[in-house]
A and B are shown apart, each in its own frame.
Chain A
Amino acid sequence: MDKRLENMRLFFPAEVTGAYVAIQGLLASNGIQKTEYMGYMIFIAIALAAVNAVIYWKFYNTVSPVWQIVLAVGFLIWVGNIDMPRFKDLWMAGLRVELVAPTLLIFYTLFTSFFELPKRIENAPKA
């Protein structure tokens, strides 16, 4: 499962995944536990999903709305898996987050294995 998660992280620009992990670390260093500040981290995840879309559009030439949705959903699944305890209190999904999040990860990696992911434009700035 860890390998799947690591493979999935590589779907997304390092700027975005790095930002989420950095904010996670910021909360921890301020004495906030792994299950607290759920609403705040949902807001951060949605904001980063939007940044992700812009990066894909600008640096990967991904303009297809379908691809953008697939990538945004994938990013949220990645967040759900790396920050699982935080979402225990999420309405509906939280009840079985330990099952739901890895299941979504498995199906997402299976689904995306049929497609070639967009490639970064050669001259695009890197993180």
Chain B
Amino acid sequence: MRRKHRIVCILFVVLASSGGAIAAERGDKFDSYRDMHADTQYGSLFFNEGSIRLLDSRSRKRFVKITGAGELSLPSQEGYCFVFNHYGSSSGTGVNQKYRLKISKVFADGRNKEEKLVGDYAPTDNVVSSRLPDWCIAGLLNVSKVSLEFSSDDGYFDRTISMSIK
């Protein structure tokens, strides 16, 4: 009986720790391109809080770092905008690269929809550069879950996060 308890406990600990490892989390906040670029690594992903479209995102500096990959909890918004740190690439600057995003939406009625976005960006050595690789996700009416698959030519942006829409 005691052995059974021990196994259950170990199983619980393993499951809990593995669950933590696959969750993405919100981390440090940055209010300027300078601090965001200088204090995080090239390829870091950020959620631009409060922005629901690109025009908003490009005038706001409310970057919340997203660490890890997997299920992410974000505040309820009409849309979501994300940016990447494109400063200080170890493979140099000035050469245009492509970034891609695959958005998979699961609707409340069970339908699925996939969208693919592609854009260009140039890794920079300008710490205050405002020309960030950015994306916004809209059209979330009746969507229950969104999965985002980020990738880039140099591989630094590659990660997948998912969100449940409230």
Which A residues lie at the B interface, using CB under 8 A?
Answer: 33-37, 85, 88-91, 94-95
Q: State the main secondary structure of chain B at its contact with A.
A: loop
Total chain B interface residues with beta-carbon distance under 8 A = 13
Which chain A residues lie closer than 8 Å to B128 at the CB level?
Answer: 88-91, 94-95
CB-based contact B31/A33 at 8 Å: yes
Determine whether B53 belongs to the interface, using a CB cutoff of 8 Å to chain A.
Answer: no
Interface residues of B in 24-56 (CB under 8 A from A): 31-35
Which chain A residues lie closer than 8 Å to B127 at the CB level?
Answer: 95
Determine whether B61 belongs to the interface, using a CB cutoff of 8 Å to chain A.
Answer: yes
Q: How far is the CA of A37 from the CA of B130 in the complex (A)?
A: 12
Given A90-B128, A91-B128, A95-B128, A35 and B31 contact (CB-CB distance below 8 Å): yes
Given A94-B128, A95-B127, A95-B128, A88 and B35 contact (CB-CB distance below 8 Å): yes
Q: How far is the CA of A90 from the CA of B126 in the complex (A)?
A: 11
Minimal beta-carbon separation of B37 from chain A (angstroms): 10
CB-based contact A36/B59 at 8 Å: yes
Which chain A residues lie closer than 8 Å to B62 at the CB level?
Answer: 33
Which of A88, A89, A90 neighbours the largest number of chain B CB atoms within 10 Å of its CB?
A89
Which chain B residues lie closer than 8 Å to A89 at the CB level?
Answer: 32-34, 61, 128, 130
Minimal beta-carbon separation of A70 from chain B (angstroms): 28
Beyond known contacts A33-B31, A85-B31: 5 more, CB 8 A cutoff:
A36-B61, A37-B59, A88-B32, A89-B128, A94-B32
